[in-house]
């Protein structure tokens, strides 16, 4: 009995420690002409352990003067088929109940996500950009529009999260030249324990919807077998 008590106490202490751990995240997105790069770093205690992700996001094709997107599609030809489905009243009521439960689930999940976002603490946020075209009037318009976008984005993020700093925003107009540069960096922290209720809620309802879906498929299969008989 004493061994199980000690094991349970250690396990409980471990869970509490995991929930109290604060994850620090550093995000930097840099755009320079036709190349984009995103860098994300994670760490726990004083920079340890550190894990980073550094990937190119988009690369443009200078020959085509646009972004290259590769899309793969797989099909079986130009075949068309028509399927007639009939549903009974119990099946329609079951689907209506599933839809109602799904809407309630999304509404509750939305409120939980907003509460979790509010617990994110932002310690640094800077957004520096440079824009320019050959026409000076268009450059001024682009500069003003970019200022409006940055002000709206900063206001939206500050309303969703908790900021411990003042955002650093800047736009540098470059006249008589084609320039498109931006550099966004952000540092934030979040406790793991704040995300656990959301994850458990999503998993629980995902399992419930999966069981309901399997039940509806079973009802339809039984109905089809009865009709065949």
pLDDT, tens only, 26-50: 999 998 877 888 899 988 877 677 7
Give the model's pLDDT for residue 88.
Answer: 58
d(CA 58, CA 72): 18
pLDDT, tens only, 48-63: 777 888 876 655 555 5
User: Minimal CA–CA distance to 119: which of 18, 188, 169, 221?
Assistant: 188
Q: Residue 138 to residues 9, 31, 132, 143, 173: CA-CA distances in angstroms?
A: 67, 20, 8, 8, 10
d(CA 206, CA 184): 35
Q: Please check whether residue 162 is in contact with residue 114, taking contact to mean a CB–CB distance below 8 angstroms.
A: no
The domain limits of the chain are 21-58+92-226
pLDDT, tens only, 184-212: 999 999 988 888 887 787 788 778 777 77
Give the model's pLDDT for residue 69.
Answer: 40
Average pLDDT value for residue range 114-132: 92
Q: What is the pTM of this model?
A: 0.67
């Amino acid at each position: 009995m004493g061994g199980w008590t000690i094991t349970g106490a250690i396990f409980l202490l471990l869970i509490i420690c995991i929930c109290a751990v604060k994850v620090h995240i550093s995000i930097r997105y840099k755009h320079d002409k036709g190349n984009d790069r995103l860098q994300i770093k994670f760490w726990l205690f004083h920079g340890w352990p550190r894990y980073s992700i550094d990937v190119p996001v988009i690369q443009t094709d200078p020959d085509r003067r646009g972004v290259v997107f590769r899309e793969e599609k797989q099909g079986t030809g130009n075949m068309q088929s028509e399927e007639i489905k009939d549903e009974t009243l119990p099946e329609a009521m079951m689907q209506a109940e599933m839809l109602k439960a799904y809407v309630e689930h999304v509404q509750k999940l939305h409120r939980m996500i907003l509460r979790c976002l509010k617990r994110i603490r932002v310690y640094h946020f800077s957004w520096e950009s440079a824009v320019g075209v050959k026409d000076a009037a268009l450059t001024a318009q682009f500069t003003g529009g970019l200022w409006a976008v940055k002000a709206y984005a900063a206001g939206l993020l500050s309303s969703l999260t908790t900021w411990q700093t003042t955002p650093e925003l800047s736009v540098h107009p470059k006249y008589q030249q084609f320039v498109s540069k931006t550099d966004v960096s952000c540092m934030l922290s979040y406790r793991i324990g704040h995300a656990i209720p959301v994850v458990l809620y999503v998993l629980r309802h995902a399992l419930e919807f999966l069981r309901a879906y399997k039940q509806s498929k079973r009802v339809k299969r039984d109905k089809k077998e009865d009709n065949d008989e």
